[in-house]
């Protein structure tokens, strides 16, 4: 019989941490002959999902080639195996023990998603959300920006003013909107001022029975207003004090169109002449421009004050330099009267003009060389043109035969909107100081306010509400 010392020597010993006695450790009976070879090896999936970082997926790695997975335990020292079992249980939990379902799923880790990014393929919350993995090939799809919705322009005016005695005369210019938000309207022998902020109406003047108003035009600062009369006079009024400060002559008959630059007031008349007036000198006018063969009905200074464009009933569009008394350009392509004229605020030297009933075309010109850039047949008489300051668009008003208002995108000349409501030709047009609202006037004796352009700061759609209450009121 072997001695007690030899039996103790043959007992397997555990390598325990310092301070732990063997008697305090209670282990279940464990068979050292159990092998990991019976555990099925998980094959790599046919399709691998890649993450945004290179962190290897343990299920697709061949760790056995690097002796990183558990081998069949050797019964070299049974204590080492028991200690490894205890350490695995303490660090990774009970599910990590051999024979548990988690270990059967992966030979290395109790959780196959440990240290691994996973892409969640959930239903997109937005109809514009793109799939991360792309289509079938696992390639990330190109993100496509949804098409921008076209700007919605209200089809009806947000305010209508009755304007009794508003003349149905193609050659007159009876409506203008000041930079101080005051609308001036010539009605018969009187000029009325309508303050947009509070809808207050003020009667500025009455020319009497022997004369009538043919044109109104504010200075750029909006404090003074000029009035052209049927007798050929030009009056200048201080609008804040309702006081006339100057009367100038020079024309033989009615003055139907006026245009201010920074310091000069130009006037066009049925007598076929254009006069330049300077309020700083006592003379009635400082220069006369002769070139039209019929009544002058269109007149506009460029934004830099260097060029003056004039249109006449002789179908001519003339361009004058600031100091010359002869036209520098004589544009003859229109086949009817040219009343509608506007300079682009976005491009230097870009001029647009519109022809009357026999022409019906909007034409664009480069005044640097006189070339016609484009021509669009609108289908009806062009009465007015005005560029938007906020976006590269313009608005036109029309007469025979459709009496419509049209908003165009430049340079494509795509129609943004077509507005109707006037029963007679839309002869008058003016724009609000903020560039969002236009007012149109017609021989049907109404003024209609339309929200057509976005604000200068944000290109959001213009709402169908204005600064003023809905309804129809009188301007006098």
> Does 459 have pLDDT greater than 60?
no
Query: How many Å separate Cα 219 from the centre of its chain?
Result: 30
Taken in order 162, 165, 166, 167, the sign of the CA dihedral is positive
For residue 80, name the pLDDT band (cuts at 50, 70, 90): confident
Bridge-based pairing state of the strands 273-278 and 264-269: antiparallel
Q: What is the pLDDT of residue 115?
A: 43
pLDDT band at 218 (very low <50, low <70, confident <90, very high): very high
Please tell me the predicted confidence (pLDDT) of residue 49: 55
- Encode burial over 229-255: b for 16+ CB neighbours within 10 A, e otherwise: bbbbbbbbbebeeeeeebebebbeebb
Secondary structure of 39-67 as H, E, C letters: CCCCCCCCCCCCCCCCCCCHHHCCHHHHC
CA distance 146 to 359: 41
* Category of 279 on φ-ψ map: left (φ > 0), alpha (ψ -120 to 50) or beta: alpha
Q: How far apart are CA 170 and CA 191, in angstroms?
A: 19
- The order of strands in the sheet holding 317-321 is 296-301, 307-312, 317-321, 329-331
Q: Please choose, from the candidates 247, 294, 237, 243, the residue with its C-alpha nearest in 3D space to the C-alpha of residue 269.
A: 294
Q: Mean pLDDT, to the nearest integer, of 125-136?
A: 37
Between 457 and 234, whose confidence is greater? 234
How far CA 354 is from CA of 333, 349, 357, 359, in Å, comes to 11, 17, 10, 8
pLDDT at 355: 97
Q: pLDDT digit string (tens) for 299-310?
A: 999 999 999 999
The region of weakest confidence among 84-88, 96-100, 221-225, 294-298 is 96-100
Q: What phi-psi label fits residue 42: left (phi over 0), alpha (psi between -120 and 50 degrees) or beta?
A: beta
Q: What is the pLDDT of residues 227-252, one digit of tens each?
A: 999 999 999 999 999 999 999 999 99
The pLDDT assigned to 262 comes to 92
Which tokens go with 352?
Answer: 């647009």
The whole-chain average pLDDT of the chain stands at 81
Rounded Cα–Cα distance for residues 363 and 341 (Å): 10
CA dist., res. 383 & res. 386, Å (int) = 11
Q: Where does the pLDDT of residue 81 fall: very low under 50, low under 70, confident under 90, or very high at 90 and above?
A: confident
DSSP state of 15: -
pLDDT for 9-18, tens place per residue?
A: 454 555 655 6
Task: Tokens for 365, please give them.
Answer: 């010109």
* pLDDT (0 to 100) of residue 126: 39
Strands 264-269 and 255-260: antiparallel
Is the Cβ–Cβ distance between 32 and 75 less than 8 Å? yes
Sign for the CA dihedral angle at 453, 459, 464, 469 comes to: negative
Instruction: Give me 390's structure tokens.
Output: 């906020």
- CB 166 within 8 Å of CB 174: yes
Q: What are phi and psi of 65, to 5 degrees?
A: -70, -20
Per-residue pLDDT tens over the stretch 136-167 = 343 344 445 666 677 899 999 999 999 999 99
Percent with pLDDT over 70 in the chain? 67
Tokens at residue 38, please? Answer: 């019976």
Would you say 218 and 228 are in contact if contact means Cβ atoms under 8 Å apart? no
Band the pLDDT of 39: cuts 50, 70, 90: very low
**Residue 296 in 3-state DSSP?**
strand
**Is pLDDT of 6 > 60?**
no
Please enumerate, as own/partner, the contacts of 113-119 that have beta carbons within 8 Å and a separation of 24 or more: 114/58, 115/55, 115/58, 116/51, 116/55, 116/57, 116/58, 117/51, 117/52, 117/53, 117/55, 118/49, 118/51, 119/49, 119/51
Listed in order, strand segments (DSSP E) in 249-360 are: 255-260, 264-269, 273-278, 287-290, 296-301, 307-312, 317-321, 329-331, 338-343, 350-355
At residue 87 the predicted structure's pLDDT band, cuts being 50, 70 and 90, is confident
């Amino acid at each position: 019989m072997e001695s007690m010392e030899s039996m103790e020597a043959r007992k397997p010993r555990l390598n325990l941490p310092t301070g732990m006695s063997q008697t305090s450790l209670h282990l279940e009976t464990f068979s050292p002959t159990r092998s990991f070879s019976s555990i099925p090896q998980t094959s790599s999936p046919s399709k691998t999902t890649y993450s945004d970082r290179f962190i290897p997926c343990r299920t697709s790695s061949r760790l056995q080639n690097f002796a990183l997975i558990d081998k069949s335990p050797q019964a070299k020292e049974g204590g080492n195996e028991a200690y490894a079992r205890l350490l695995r249980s303490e660090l990774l939990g009970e599910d990590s023990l051999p024979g548990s379902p988690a270990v059967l799923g992966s030979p290395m880790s109790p959780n196959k998603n440990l240290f691994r990014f996973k892409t969640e393929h959930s239903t997109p919350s937005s109809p514009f959300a793109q799939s991360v993995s792309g289509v079938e090939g696992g390639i990330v799809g190109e993100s496509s920006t949804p098409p921008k919705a076209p700007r919605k322009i209200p089809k009806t005016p947000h305010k209508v003013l009755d304007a009794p005695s508003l003349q149905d005369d193609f050659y007159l210019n009876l409506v203008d909107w000041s930079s101080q938000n005051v609308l001036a309207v010539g009605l018969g022998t009187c000029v009325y001022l309508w303050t947009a902020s509070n809808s207050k109406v003020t009667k500025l003047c009455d020319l009497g029975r022997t004369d009538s108003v043919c044109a109104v035009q504010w200075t750029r600062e909006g404090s003074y207003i000029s009035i052209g009369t049927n007798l050929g006079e030009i009056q200048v009024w201080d609008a804040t004090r309702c006081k006339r400060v100057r009367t100038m002559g020079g024309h033989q008959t009615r003055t139907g169109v006026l245009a201010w630059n920074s310091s000069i007031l130009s006037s066009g008349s049925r007598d076929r002449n254009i006069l330049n007036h300077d309020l700083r000198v006592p003379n009635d006018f400082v220069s006369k421009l002769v070139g039209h063969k019929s009544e002058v009905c269109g007149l506009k200074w460029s934004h830099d004050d260097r060029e003056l464009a004039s249109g006449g009933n002789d179908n001519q569009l003339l361009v004058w330099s600031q100091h010359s008394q002869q036209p520098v350009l004589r544009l003859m392509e229109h086949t009817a009267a040219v009343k509608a004229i506007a300079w682009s605020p976005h491009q230097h030297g870009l001029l647009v003009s519109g022809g009357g009933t026999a022409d019906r075309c909007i034409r664009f010109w480069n005044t640097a060389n006189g070339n016609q850039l484009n021509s669009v047949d609108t289908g009806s008489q062009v009465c007015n043109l005005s560029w938007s300051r906020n976006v590269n668009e313009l608005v036109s008003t029309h007469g025979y035969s459709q009496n419509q208002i049209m908003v165009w995108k430049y340079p494509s000349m795509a129609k943004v909107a077509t507005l109707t409501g006037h029963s007679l030709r839309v002869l008058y047009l003016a724009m609000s100081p903020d560039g969002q609202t236009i007012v149109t006037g017609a021989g049907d004796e109404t003024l209609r306010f339309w929200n057509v352009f976005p604000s200068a700061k944000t290109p959001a759609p213009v709402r169908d509400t204005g600064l003023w209450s809905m309804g129809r009121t009188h301007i006098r």
